[in-house]
């Protein structure tokens, strides 16, 4: 075996360890992907239950009862999925480990930077449009408000980063004492 070849068993063990470490992130990503599907299925199956129930009541046919039963089963599954995915999303976002994993994922994928850049561009365009139709004082006030908000956001980010470093230092200190 060459030095740069990876042992397949070691690769599988590594992937399993990574899946275990990031299990809450994986569950969160699956939940936010599936929840809109469950919500849509809930509404569609609710409408189907009403339609099949009405047709079953009007025509007294067994085929409508089957449609009603299938729609009821889909409604039960979709509501259950909606509740379970909502609970997973709530639990992961409320736990410190889950928040750290979501933040890491967003940092790696660059999603927040893209969203913030788009919002910043839209805000600046809106201010430019408002400045064309308002007096200079209003325009200056809007620009200074946006500047103050940006500075406040930067300060909040620095404080949060400092808290993370302080937590890491506390953890390292507690490990070194043990």
pLDDT at 26: 82
Mark whether 167 and 178 lie in a shared domain: yes
Radius of gyration of the chain (CA): 26
pLDDT at 65 > cutoff 60: yes
Residue 158 vs residue 84, higher pLDDT: 84
For residue 63, CA distances in Å to 47, 58, 66, 75, 164 come to 17, 12, 5, 18, 61
pTM: 0.51
Residue 25 vs residue 172, higher pLDDT: 25
pLDDT at 176: 56
Q: Which domain holds residue 146?
A: 110-178
Residue 16: pLDDT band (50, 70, 90) is confident
pLDDT at 126 > cutoff 70: yes
* Number of domains present in the structure of the chain: 2
Q: What is the distance between the alpha carbons of residues 160 and 163, in angstroms, rounded to a whole number?
A: 5
State which of 52, 82, 109 marks the end of a domain: 109
Mark whether 20 and 70 lie in a shared domain: yes
Q: What is the distance between the alpha carbons of residues 23 and 91, in angstroms, rounded to a whole number?
A: 13
Q: Per-residue pLDDT tens for 67-122?
A: 888 999 999 999 999 889 888 888 888 888 777 777 777 776 666 666 667 777 77
State which of 84, 109, 134 marks the end of a domain: 109
8 A C-beta contact, residue 78 and residue 38 = yes
Q: Per-residue pLDDT tens for 20-57?
A: 777 888 888 888 888 889 988 999 998 988 888 888 88
Mark whether 71 and 145 lie in a shared domain: no
pLDDT at 77: 93
**41 occurs within a structural domain:** yes
Look-up: residue for tokens 């070849």? Answer: 5
pLDDT at 72: 92
Residue 163: pLDDT band (50, 70, 90) is low
Helices (H), the chain: 8-21, 23-59, 62-94, 96-109, 111-133, 136-177
pLDDT at 178 > cutoff 60: no
């Amino acid at each position: 075996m060459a030095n740069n070849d990876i042992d397949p068993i070691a690769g599988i063990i590594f992937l399993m360890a990574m899946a275990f470490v990031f299990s809450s992130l994986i569950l969160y990503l699956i939940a936010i992907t599936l929840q809109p599907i469950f919500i849509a299925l809930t509404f569609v199956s609710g409408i189907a239950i009403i339609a099949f129930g009405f047709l079953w009541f009007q025509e007294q046919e067994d085929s409508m009862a089957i449609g009603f039963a299938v729609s009821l089963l889909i409604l039960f599954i979709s509501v259950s999925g909606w509740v379970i995915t909502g609970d997973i999303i709530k639990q992961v976002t409320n736990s410190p480990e889950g928040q750290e994993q979501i933040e890491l994922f967003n940092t790696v994928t660059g999603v927040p930077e893209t969203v913030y850049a788009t919002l910043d561009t839209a805000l600046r365009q809106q201010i430019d449009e408002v400045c064309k139709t308002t007096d200079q004082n209003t325009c200056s006030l809007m620009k200074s408000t946006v500047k103050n908000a940006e500075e406040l956001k930067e300060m909040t980010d620095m404080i949060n980063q400092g808290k993370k470093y302080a937590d890491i230092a506390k953890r390292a200190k507690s490990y070194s004492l043990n």
